[in-house]
Structure 1
Amino acid sequence: MSVTKIPGPGANVAICRKARGFSQVALARRAGVSVSLLSKIEVGDRALTQGIAAALAQAMGLTLDELLGMPPSSAPTRTALPPSTTPFGGSTSPTRRRHTPRTFLASWPS
């Protein structure tokens, strides 16, 4: 029986770093982490936290999915609502009446 070892997130960090031509020192400086921490993450001695993963991905110009070696998402892309509508049917136009302290107090039941 053959066991296939799946690379962990640290191995993916090392692969992405090398593919982009960064040394550990250069990537650690760009991401704001210590070289020691980056090295330990790459060999699997330390866990890759969300914050560090985000900093490393940003430093290399990657998404978190790319950094972690995940396949691209097949979810449909979201489109923005037109600027004149909201999900609740109201308007976001600046002409909408806003209460001032005077109009608010005038509408308060006595």
Structure 2
Amino acid sequence: MFDPEMNPTGLENTIEGHYGGVRVVAEGRGSQIFIGTTKNCILHGDLELGFSPAVLGHVDELWGLAAHPTLPQFATAGWDRLLQLWDGLSHSTVWSKDIDVCIFIVIIRT
């Protein structure tokens, strides 16, 4: 990371590979940083505590969709190899996993 005068700060952190590479970094309030990635994700956090997704979605065709039978959740999967569980109330991801193969179907079993 660099300071406003483009001098190295010595601070660094790593983001998970399935979010994609860093495309842009934007400064937030205080020590908060926003990161835009090559897989169209927006992460927020800081260099000490790490980063979590603020906006996360698929970057290629969506092929699988399944609703949970009793909870307000649904799963999506697609050609981008991401399997994601979504919270239907907050419209946010509960978790996201890179499966390493293209996914064509999702089934939620309880």
Q: Report the TM-score, using the length of structure 2 for normalisation.
A: 0.23
Kindly indicate which of the two structures has a greater share of residues assigned to strand: 2
Q: Report the TM-score, using the length of structure 1 for normalisation.
A: 0.23
Larger Rg: 1
Kindly indicate which of the two structures has a greater share of residues assigned to helix: 1
Greater RCO (Cα-Cα under 8 Å, separation 6 or more): 1
